[in-house]
Structure formats: C-alpha cells, structure tokens
Amino acid sequence: MVAGTFRIGERSVGRLGFGAMHLPTEAGLRDGAIAVARRAVELGVTLIDTAHLYGWGANEELLAEALYPYPDELLIATKVGVAPPAAGREAALCGRPDFLREQVEEGLRRLRMERLELLQLHRVDPEVPLADQVGTLGELQAEGKIGHIGLSEVSVAQLDEARQIVDVVSVQNRYSMLDREHEPVLDACDAAGIAFLPWRPVHPAVAGATPEIASVAEELGATPAQVSLAWLLHRSPVVLPIPGTGSIVHLEENVAAADLQLSDHQFRRL
C-alpha cells in the first residue's frame, strides 16, 4: 500500500482501515456482512472500528463471529459511553464510571477478548467530569482490560485535558475533504503524533461537489470517493480513514484508494 502504516501504541496498522458500523446484523443479511468483514482482512486491512452503540453490541458480536480467532496483525477498536434508550426515550451519553466499566466488560465478552487493544470514549458526557471518565479508562488500562485509550468527537481543549490524565493514542472526529470543522483537532493530533481516525471520511456530496474533484479523479483514473480518501491520506501521516460499507464491491473500491498517490499540486487544488 502506498498509504503505509502508522503505530498505535506498540501496534502497527495500515493507514486505511474499515468502519464496521454499516454491517447489518439481522438474519438474512448477516452472512453477507460476515463476508464483508472477512474480505476486509483478506485485502490487508488491519484496523477495524466498531462500538457498543452499533446495534447495542450486535456489531461487536458479528465481528467476533466473522474473525475470531483474530489474526495477530488485526487491531479492533471499539467505543463505550452511550446508554441504550429506555422506553419512550432516546439513547443518551453516559460517562459514569460504573457504566463505562460495565460496557468494557460487555465488550470483552462480545468480542471474545481478554483485553480491548484500543478503547475509545464514544462521546464526552457533559454531566460527568472528563477526569472521571478518562480516569476510569486509565484504571481499566492498569487492570489489563484496556490496551490503549482513545477519544471521539472532542475539542482541542478536551484532548489537552484528557492527556494530562492518561496517554491518548487516538482521536476519532468527523472529518473529510468537504467537512473540515475539526481541522484544529487534527492539527493537534499531528503535532503530538496521535492517530486521527476521521469518521464519515467520504462526504455524501463528494461525487458532485466541485469540478476540481471530478478533474483529479479523471487524471488518476479513480472515483471521487477514492480521491477523497487519497486526500485524507495525503493530508497528514497521522490520518487513518475508516470508511465503512456493507458491500464487498464498495469495500474493494475503498481499499484500492490506499494505492492512489496525489501530487502536491493535485492536493492543493482540492
């Protein structure tokens, strides 16, 4: 892969990962989802992202069914910190220490792991001090249940605060060529050598967004989505896009973007 690798803690992973959120878990579609997960690994993907929120654990169970026992080179990242909806209510953030501990234990069981190699706080709960949330993850890390700690949808200030308490190895914020709201967070990760995992790395509007995208895609013999992923890989060596899909064809198209190389001129045009 032109994209190369990046080190998360002591683990080295390919810079183009896979987001498992879109894998269906219901009967009738499950076999196809398992085939997609297995194909991702066959294609050399070594970073897969999931979360307790995705099907309230069903997505984690699907990955275990598809991939356990896991290849040594595969890093599965999961996330905790969102509570299932109660009757008549929506899901809600929950960063209470007891709840985070419970979700970590459930994640270990569902993924059939003794240690969650990369555990990310899905969202910062504004009702609980951030120090209590990441401090709990730090305690779980000391207990051997978490290998590395990451954050999701955080500001630069929250990242700085968390890093005073634990070693943060990854940040997962929304970011793409057409959505650069979290550019300051990416810059902070770049400066600190922290992995930045952009979710929704291909903006839905990328295909018809600008003539320049179409022009670069034609020059490279690629799709606008592939150009979008190649742009992210060019943007910074700490960027590890995690595009997701439930289609093997789409998966193969995404993975092929790791072999694209934008020139500096093409990158500036975009």
The b-or-e profile of 4-27 (16+ CB within 10 A means b, else e) is eebebeebebbbbbbbbbbbbbee
Pick the closest to residue 144 from 113, 172, 167 (CA basis).
113
Name the E strands within 97-248: 116-121, 146-152, 168-172, 195-196
Task: Report residue 123 as tokens.
Answer: 């969202």
54 is catalytic: yes
**Is 219 within 8 Å of 266 (Cβ atoms)?**
yes
List, in sequence order, every residue forming a beta bridge with 119; answer none if it has no partner: 78, 149
CA dihedral 60, 64, 65, 68 (to 10 degrees): 170
Amino acid at position 187, single letter: D
* Residue tagged 């990046």 (tokens): 6
- For strand 168-172 and strand 195-196, is the pairing parallel, antiparallel, or unpaired? parallel
SS3 154: coil
Catalytic site residue from 54, 68, 70, 175? 54
Residues recognised as catalytic: 54
